[in-house]
Amino acid sequence: MKWRHSGFRANANRARKWGHSGFPQRRKSGMSPGFTLIEVLAALVIVALGMLGAITAVNQATRNGTYLREKTLAHWVAMNVLTERRLQTSPPDVTESSGEVDFANERWRWTMRVTQTEVRSLRRMDVSVRLASAPDTSSLASLSGFYGTSIASSSGTPLSWMGAGAPGTGGQDDTGDDVDEGRERPRGDKPRPQRPQPSPEDDPE
């Protein structure tokens, strides 16, 4: 029985050394390192997601810069329209008007709505500006201003206060009558005291 056990043990050692195929097996420590196909695919997916996020952030920043530029230009166009209306000698009509203008290599369309305020000589102007190619309901900038007829005109002509009295007097002068002994007295001068007239009783005979 000893020879049987010894032969079985020798065969087991030989099979462990050479493998089941009869050829010597390569040791695990000698295998070359590498990545599996699943690991490579996972790395490619991670890189693609990172690149997609970076491209999206760059596109968003570009769109924001373009929007801010167009909004600033539209605000300037609205200011120009309001300034032109304020420099006119006659007040704008209470209506809604629109027009187009070229500015900064772009075509802009403005719409102005004039309304009457509670003050008769004061009118409000609301201007909205958009790109000419944009829809009618869109608006890049909106600006409001006022036009008053009780202020000096753009030519610099001084206001006439005749008949209105001194400011703060409610249309009446604080000096009383302006005629003294047949002569016009300048406004703002105090009336001269009149000398007492002698009575007939004091006249010597």
Domain ranges of the chain: 63-148
What is the structure's pLDDT at 202?
53
pLDDT of residue 34: 74
Q: How far apart are CA 52 and CA 58, in angstroms?
A: 10
The pLDDT of residue 6 is 53
DSSP code for 57: H
Calpha distance 169→29 (Å, rounded): 110
pLDDT (0 to 100) of residue 59? 92
Please report which helix (H) or strand (E) contains residue 183, including its range: strand 183-184
Residue 66: per-residue pLDDT: 92
Measuring CA to CA, which residue among 159, 141, 2, 173 is closest to residue 77?
141
- Rounded-to-5 percentages of helix, strand, coil across the chain: 35, 20, 45
Report how far residue 32's alpha carbon sits from residue 147's, in angstroms, rounded to the nearest whole number. Answer: 86
In angstroms, rounded to a whole number, what is the distance separating the alpha carbons of residues 53 and 12?
A: 59
Q: Which DSSP letter does residue 180 get? A: E
Q: In the chain, which residues have pLDDT < 50?
A: 1-3, 5, 161-188, 205
Record: fold of 63-148: Pantoate--beta-alanine Ligase; Chain: A,domain 2 (3.30.1300)
Please tell me the predicted confidence (pLDDT) of residue 35.
78
